[in-house]
A and B are shown apart, each in its own frame.
Chain A
Amino acid sequence: MAPAMIDPQIFDQLKSKLEEDSKVHKSLSEIIDQLETQIAYAQGLLSRIHGTPRPEYPALLQQIEVPIRKEIEQIGELSKLASNYPYYKYNYRWSRHTQDAILTVLLTAWIGGMATTTSPGELGRLLTLEQVGDIFQVPINVKDRDVFHLTTEEYLLAVTNLTDELSRLAVNAVTLGDRELAVRISSFVKDIHAGFQLLNLKNDTLRKRVDSVKYHVKKVEDVVYDLTLRNLIPSKESA
């Protein structure tokens, strides 16, 4: 009698692999759901900057610390779990959320938060990927081992979201009478745009999102144009 078509062992092996896979998906979902909640809360809180005059930022920054601390916790959990499995196998599950989490700390730092002993909080500060990694206490841009980390792409995508948010802030700052902030934003967004120009992008998500940065530049330039036309640019502004 010829051997059976399917060795029962094949089935058992595959079954346990698939079961493990769906277990991983479930545990990831739990953590990601909680992370998402914290991010949404932080983003909501952060969007108050559009209606908050600059002198009141410190109070806002204090409030934002709470959800950010929770984000850090959740990302730590995620890192612990995800590092047990091939990183890029499940990366797509959380990549969007880590991007958003990075955005919340980038924006908080830009408006003067996320101060550390080595780099004090000041307006207009862009955290580097290394600094973001330090904040979340996870590795960044790992190539030599297969563990959880924040990727270059996630950081760059978050930066495109930052310029988007700042282009909105430029308009609202002027409304609140803070014309100097609009000018600062303009020069920052232009610098970032120039930076993105240095990248050789392929036709992918990053490219699409980087393409949109030029519209952010345009938005803030329009604001600065309106101000210049009416002689409303603060005099101490220098190029």
Chain B
Amino acid sequence: MSGQKRDYNGVERKPHEGGQKRGGGQQKTVLVVRNEYTPMFERFRNELDQHHERREKIVKASRDITALSKKIIFALQRVRKIQQDLPNDIKKTMDGFLDQIAQLLATVAQETQGINRYRYDHQLSCMEELVEALTFAHYLKTQTLVSYDQLSADIEELARRGAASKSEQETKAQADANNDETPVPEPDQPPKHKAADAPVVSVTEQDYIYGIFDLTGEMMRFATTSTALTRSLAAADGDETSARPRTILQDMQELRSFIEMLPQKKGKSWSNKLGVLRQSVRKVELIGYGMVVRGGERAEGWVPDAEVDVDEEE
């Protein structure tokens, strides 16, 4: 009574023929002994199956989005200075990854609506990673922190774009069923009317804040490599003219006090992340110090095209 075999859909398998029961031919033998609670549990089974299916779908997409976000970050780490336009190759790489992310977001958007957004919040850990990548990109372009509202809008737009390109591809795939051409994405085409109200994956405040924590780690890495290669702390393009250009060091210090001034959340992950953030800031502070104290000692020409020396103005 307990060893009922089921296939992957949970549908009962027919017992093997030739069992001990004779005369099974004329009547369907039901192996499960049904009791008064059987229908209730069958209802629960359907419900749990739906839940597990949804969760798995989200987990899969989330894993991919996390990986793609990390790739974006790696690409961005190859940028050398803060500038309005990212170098072409990096921009292209990033856009490619973003397109993939957009499509993935579109596939799970339906599953994360309403009550389900927080139900699968844990499975949607990719959002934090995506926030990290996008805040980092925004910083490198503008030397500012992108706001929650702006970032949410961007990510929602991404999901809509994914939905639009998906439906586009579907229609194209149908039309080109006989052709070998691969569908070419046409970015200039206006999104389909359908896409405007396509479901989106929302970003929670927690995703945003924790993404900022992680952003400081990326800024630290960026500051380290860019300083080593350009002999100056990164500052905005064209800002060298002002007496004291705002550098990445000041930005990180500001981020640190920004986070510290916020009402602190209880819990391990907050305090862990805060610890890491403080360390990152310390590291960049030491880099800044090193630039001032030892920066001038290096022979000229050590780095081919040294630009501004921060310590010039000190």
Q: How far is the CA of A192 from the CA of B143 in the complex (A)?
A: 62
Contact size range, A? 35 or more
Asked whether, in the complex, the Cβ of A156 is within 8 Å of the Cβ of B37, the reply is no
B1 closest partner in A (C-beta): A194
Asked whether, in the complex, the Cβ of B47 is within 8 Å of the Cβ of A152, the reply is yes
- A106 CB, min distance to chain B CBs, angstroms: 13
Q: How far is the CA of A191 from the CA of B35 in the complex (A)?
A: 6
Chain A facing B: main interface SS: helix
- B74 CB, min distance to chain A CBs, angstroms: 24
B-side interface residues, number (CB < 8 Å): 50
Q: Which of A17, A91, A152, A194 contacts B33 (CB 8 A)?
A: A194
Asked whether, in the complex, the Cβ of B40 is within 8 Å of the Cβ of A6, the reply is no
Answer whether residue A88 sits at the interface, using C-beta atoms and an 8 A cutoff: yes
- A158 CB, min distance to chain B CBs, angstroms: 13
Asked whether, in the complex, the Cβ of B37 is within 8 Å of the Cβ of A192, the reply is yes
- B152 CB, min distance to chain A CBs, angstroms: 11
- Most central of A21, A142, A194 by chain B CB within 10 Å: A194
A25 closest partner in B (C-beta): B266
Asked whether, in the complex, the Cβ of A89 is within 8 Å of the Cβ of B236, the reply is no
Q: Which residues of A contact B4 (CB under 8 A)?
A: 197-198
Answer whether residue A123 sits at the interface, using C-beta atoms and an 8 A cutoff: no
A192 closest partner in B (C-beta): B37
Q: How far is the CA of A143 from the CA of B54 in the complex (A)?
A: 13
- A72 CB, min distance to chain B CBs, angstroms: 23
Q: Which residues of A contact B118 (CB under 8 A)?
A: 86-89, 91
Q: Which residues of A contact B148 (CB under 8 A)?
A: 10, 13-14
Answer whether residue A229 sits at the interface, using C-beta atoms and an 8 A cutoff: no
Q: How far is the CA of A11 from the CA of B147 in the complex (A)?
A: 9
Do A6 and B255 contact each other (CB < 8 Å), given the known contacts A18-B262, A126-B37? Answer: yes
Q: Which residues of A contact B121 (CB under 8 A)?
A: 88-89
Asked whether, in the complex, the Cβ of B115 is within 8 Å of the Cβ of A146, the reply is yes
Asked whether, in the complex, the Cβ of A195 is within 8 Å of the Cβ of B114, the reply is no
Answer whether residue B246 sits at the interface, using C-beta atoms and an 8 A cutoff: yes
Asked whether, in the complex, the Cβ of B144 is within 8 Å of the Cβ of A15, the reply is no
Answer whether residue B274 sits at the interface, using C-beta atoms and an 8 A cutoff: no
Q: Which residues of A contact B116 (CB under 8 A)?
A: 88
- B58 CB, min distance to chain A CBs, angstroms: 13
Answer whether residue B36 sits at the interface, using C-beta atoms and an 8 A cutoff: yes
Q: Which of B41, B145, B258, B261 contacts A198 (CB 8 A)?
A: B41
- B228 CB, min distance to chain A CBs, angstroms: 23
Do A144 and B114 contact each other (CB < 8 Å), given the known contacts A191-B36, A191-B37? Answer: yes
Answer whether residue A202 sits at the interface, using C-beta atoms and an 8 A cutoff: yes
Q: How far is the CA of A15 from the CA of B37 in the complex (A)?
A: 50
Chain B 41-80 interface 0/1 with A at a Cβ cutoff of 8 Å (1 = within): 1101101110010000000000000000000000000000
Q: How far is the CA of A230 from the CA of B229 in the complex (A)?
A: 89
A204 closest partner in B (C-beta): B52
Answer whether residue A2 sits at the interface, using C-beta atoms and an 8 A cutoff: yes
Asked whether, in the complex, the Cβ of B144 is within 8 Å of the Cβ of A3, the reply is yes
Answer whether residue B189 sits at the interface, using C-beta atoms and an 8 A cutoff: no
Do A11 and B42 contact each other (CB < 8 Å), given the known contacts A86-B115, A86-B118, A146-B115? Answer: no
B251 closest partner in A (C-beta): A5
Q: Which residues of A contact B209 (CB under 8 A)?
A: 14
Asked whether, in the complex, the Cβ of A145 is within 8 Å of the Cβ of B114, the reply is yes
Answer whether residue B92 sits at the interface, using C-beta atoms and an 8 A cutoff: no
Q: Which residues of B contact A193 (CB under 8 A)?
A: 2
Asked whether, in the complex, the Cβ of A11 is within 8 Å of the Cβ of B258, the reply is yes
Answer whether residue B117 sits at the interface, using C-beta atoms and an 8 A cutoff: yes
Asked whether, in the complex, the Cβ of A7 is within 8 Å of the Cβ of B263, the reply is no
- Most central of B4, B145, B209 by chain A CB within 10 Å: B145
B33 closest partner in A (C-beta): A194
Answer whether residue B196 sits at the interface, using C-beta atoms and an 8 A cutoff: no
Given contacts A145-B114, A146-B114, A195-B38, list 5 more A-B pairs with CB under 8 A. A5-B251, A11-B261, A18-B205, A87-B118, A194-B32
Chain A residues at the B interface, C-beta cutoff of 8 Å: 1-7, 9-11, 13-15, 17-19, 21-22, 86-89, 91, 126, 128, 141-146, 152, 156, 191-202, 206
Q: List 28 A-B contacts (CB under 8 A).
A: A2-B143, A2-B236, A5-B250, A6-B254, A7-B147, A13-B147, A14-B148, A14-B205, A22-B265, A88-B118, A88-B121, A89-B121, A143-B115, A145-B114, A152-B44, A191-B36, A194-B1, A194-B32, A194-B33, A194-B37, A195-B38, A195-B41, A196-B41, A198-B4, A198-B38, A198-B42, A200-B10, A200-B45
